[in-house]
Amino acid sequence: MTTTYAVLSEGLEKRFGDVRAVNGLDLAVAEGTVCGVLGPNGAGKTTAVRLLTTLLRPDAGSARVAGHDLVREAPAVRRAIAVTGQYASVDGDLTGRENLRLCARLHRVGNAAARADELLDRFGLSEAAGRLASTYSGGMRRRLDLAASLVRRPEVLFLDEPTTGLDPVSRTTIWDAVHELTARGTTVLLTTQYLEEADRLADTIALVDRGRVAHTGSPSELKALIGTYAEVIVADTNVMIKAAAVLDRLTGAEPAFHHERRAVGAVTTDPTLTLPRLVRELDAAGVPLLDASLKPPTLDDVFLRLTDTGAERAA
Amino acid sequence: MSALAYDGAAMLGRQLRRVRNNPALVVLVQTMPITMLLFFGYVFGSALAMPGEEYRTFLVPGLLVATAANGIMTGMFQAAQDTHRGVMDRFRTLPVSRAAVPLGQALADLVVSAVGTVPFLLAGLAVGWRIEGPAVRAVAALGLLLLFRFACTWIGIFLGLLTRNEEMAGQLGSATFMLPLLSNAYIPTDDLPDWLRTLAEWNPLSAVTTALRDLFGNSSAPEGAAWPVAHPVAGSLAWCGVLIVVFVPLALRGYARGGR
């Protein structure tokens, strides 16, 4: 079976004056999956979303979204997608209910009023439904914005930093909605600065740096590239050398010493190195252990190691 | 086409709902010309060579047209606000006819300003202004006024989509107050120096104002006026036609292009 891609871009480019905001973006998001576009501020994430949602015209390159050419079949793309932006784009001069009814009507949803009420309920906005959206809190506005994107189930949903600055409750509501949608076959492309968010939601992560994709892979693949940090804490500074020798043998990497914590650690990419094995080997070598751990890398580590910007920052 | 009608109606509904949700603003906008009628009518009216009641009759059509020209300001502010707040972006990603969003805005503006004309006309009657010609011609005057408003709103929508910034639109919008100052809306142009008179009479507001004075039967075009004022109805229609032909496509293109 061949994979169908809901979003497929090749060499997408967008310049603003001298700035190449998006500079040869190649992105492939398989149907029904969540792709997390991860990158720092200014990496080109928002411009990429604006291109893929027909808000901007690319200067070069091509892309298909939900099977339609982004430029030549823009109206068909718009029928298939929904967008929730970084800045809530609901109308503050309308009530929550009026906002949803308008979107439902524009999407030609049969019973716009009923659909609006259903969504208000789903996103915990029923009580505030009759109030102007301008009086909503940031979290409520974002939830209303997402609800507006879901008046009709989109084939591809774009979420541009959907939880930036949100309270934990709103964040969880949005995460739950994403899970629910993908379970029903919607493809989601989300940009985020939060590693935790990408880790929790995304099937694949595209690491974006300077307008192009620096790396793609599942969260675990990206972490495997970086390796796991094995660290042991010994009871006595005298045995640190002995512990280091064991770690050196097991990981093949040069161990690092943290004398003040009596800790020795080394990076490993060996998947057979499990915590029980680490403990057994150290015990056999007669190292009195206080603690041992295998820490998977955070996406922060991933980012620092796999992008140019990260490399510069680390240097 | 039916998609445009449907989407346009939905967008018109949106704009009218916004007005209903924000009645204070509407009241404020509508009382402004009445306040100006009282100030100008009695303050200037007492200082000018023209007798007070005659000046107030002269002023009513002028203020109607000056108010219609404010369509530039409201159109610009609204379009800039929607762009700035990301509402336009949402509409652009929806399967909505490209013309529906600006068209809905222009039509809603037309409805609101038509309703707003009623209290102003009543105020005009109260200060001594009268419809002195046949009713048909008075209705034609109001039709022409709304056509001019419609044209002005499209100029505003175009500028609003261009500036993309609420504050800048607000600042620029206040400049529309200057337009009637360089026309025959508040003062007769006969006594102006020749070059200034020519400039003022080629101001579209002058043609429309003169047409209204003529159609209401208040006064006719002055001697030796420039062509649009000498033939005020034809001149007004021509001005409205030119403005619509130029600014409707520009505004539609501005909407479709969005973020450059």
Q: What is the pLDDT of residues B214-249, one digit of tens each?
A: 999 999 888 888 999 999 999 999 999 999 999 999
- Subunit contact B18:A94, Cβ cutoff 8 A: yes
Q: Which of B17, B87, B90 to mutate to test the interface with A (most CBs of A within 10 A)?
A: B90
Is residue B92 within 8 Å of residue B79, measured between CB atoms? no
Query: Residue range B18-43: average pLDDT?
Result: 89
> Which pLDDT band, with edges at 50, 70 and 90, does A307 fall under?
confident
Identify the band that residue A88 occupies on the pLDDT scale cut at 50, 70 and 90: low
Average pLDDT, chain B: 92
Interface of A with B in 147-206 (CB under 8 A): 148
| Helix A275-284 and helix A240-251, axial crossing angle in degrees, nearest 10 | 130
Tokens 């430029």 map to which residue? Answer: A71
What is the average pLDDT across A11-18?
Answer: 92
CB–CB of A87 and B17 under 8 A? no
B interface with A, Cβ–Cβ below 8 Å:
7, 10, 13-14, 17-18, 21-22, 82, 85-87, 89-96, 258-260
- Cβ separation A102–B258 shorter than 8 A: no
Sign of CA dihedral A74, A78, A84, A88: positive
Residue A193 CB-half CA count within 13 A: 12
Cα B177 from Cα B158, distance rounded (Å)? 18
What tens digit of pLDDT does each residue of A186-245 get? 999 999 888 778 888 999 999 998 899 988 999 888 777 778 888 899 988 888 999 999
- pLDDT beyond 80 at A86: no
pLDDT band of A85, cuts 50, 70, 90: confident
Handedness of CA A96, A102, A104, A107 (dihedral sign): negative
Asked if the C-beta of A87 comes within 8 angstroms of chain B's C-beta atoms, the answer is yes
For residues B12-24, give the mean pLDDT: 91
The torsion angles phi and psi of B160, rounded to 5 degrees, stand at: -65, -40
Question: Would the pLDDT of B260 be above 50?
Answer: no
Rounded (10°) CA dihedral B18, B21, B22, B26: 70
Highest average pLDDT, of A253-262, A299-308, B7-16, comes from B7-16
Share of chain B above pLDDT 70, in %: 99
Q: Is residue B209 helix, strand or coil?
A: helix
Q: Which of B93, B97, B164, B166 to mutate to test the interface with A (most CBs of A within 10 A)?
A: B93
Structure tokens at A24: 């040869």
**Mean pLDDT of all residues in A130-151:** 92
* Residue ranges of E strands in A72-227: 81-84, 156-160, 187-192, 204-209, 212-217
Global pTM value: 0.85
Give residue A313's pLDDT: 63
Domain count, chain B: 1
User: Which parts of chain B are beta strand (E)?
Assistant: none
Taking residues B66-88, report their average pLDDT. 93
- Is residue A89 predicted with pLDDT exceeding 90? no
Using 50, 70 and 90 to split pLDDT, how confident is the model at B259? low
Task: Give the domain range for residue B123.
Answer: 3-256
Residue type at A181? L
- Helix, strand, coil percent content, chain A, rounded in steps of 5: 40, 30, 30
Residue in B closest to A49 by C-alpha: B93
